[in-house]
Amino acid sequence: MSLPSRVALCDVGPRDGFQFEDQFIPTDLKVATITALADAGVPRIQVTSFVHPEWVPQMRDAESVCERLPPRDDVTYAGLALNQKGLERAHNAGLSQVDLSIATHDQHSLDNANVTVDEAVAQAEEMVRYAHEHGLEAQMGFQTVFGYQEPGDTPLPQVVDMSRHFAEMGVESISLADSTGLAHPHMIQERVEAVLKAIGDVPLVLHLHDTRGLGLANVYAALECGVDRFDTSLAGMGGCPFIEGATGNIATEDTAYLLDGLGIESGIDRAAVSRASRRIEEELDKQFPGKLHRL
């Protein structure tokens, strides 16, 4: 099976990575990191999330970050919104793209948001309608697609039906998240192929974690299915702070290295991303799990 000739990466480090840190990241460093990623050729950056500061204190400066984003015609800035209030804040902050996200596993939905999946879908429908009415492009993201408590315990038919439903609503893309890092290549191919058949021409994005060391193996499995958009995080920062043990996004530099080796264009300057990663490690005095930025 032929691989894509070009792949687009979205660096979620400024949101997913920074929100995982206990030490508050200064707004100056957040903006500098976003700027460095843009200069390194990253075409899409998830810059912040619009959540209650009581739950995610790290994101309490979301509006300030957005105000200071360097204008770029070649970069898309997106923000995560988990409810209607967050969506309205993203719109008022001037973002043109918003990432929405709901669970696909009932127990996870109850544990994380205190709603059933059906209730979460109804809320997300209203958010998609609001986004369309206000000129926002919305990515619809699904959490724990590859399992919550054990691999594959999220029903695949439910994932497929939800993907089809929101694709028909006209979202910009569908994103499948391995929130718990339970996925393996066979499951990636099975679930990706099923969703691709359901969503037609709507782009598919994968958000993979490297919790069990299979992150790049899962990228390759998805590439074989034709997936050409992935979420990554500089230095491999982040994870899911609301799921115990769900650490480690696939690193932007490491993923770009894999793509380069496969002859797939990404437009990413790995050395520039690595410099940004090393700066963060120096500022926070800690080492992140990515590999290439330390070479």
Task: Please enumerate in sequence order all residues whose Cβ is within 8 A of that of 138, keeping only pairs 6 or more positions apart, or say none.
Answer: 97, 98, 99, 100, 127, 128, 131, 132, 171, 172
Distances in Å between the Cα of 72 and the Cα atoms of 38, 75, 118, 174, 271 are: 8, 6, 38, 24, 21
Backbone angles phi, psi at 204, to 5 degrees: -110, 135
Pairwise CA distance, residues 10 & 94, whole Å: 19
Pairwise CA distance, residues 196 & 86, whole Å: 29
Q: What is the DSSP letter of 4?
A: P
The one-letter amino acid code at 270 reads R
Pairwise CA distance, residues 281 & 290, whole Å: 11
Please say whether the beta carbons of 135 and 210 come within 8 A.
no
Catalytic residue among 10, 66, 225, 240: 240
> Is 240 a known active-site residue?
yes
User: At 113, which helix (H) or strand (E)?
Assistant: helix 106-113
Neighbours of 253 (CB within 10 A): 29
The beta strands (E) that lie in 117-225 are given as: 137-143, 173-177, 204-207
Supply the residues annotated as catalytic: 240
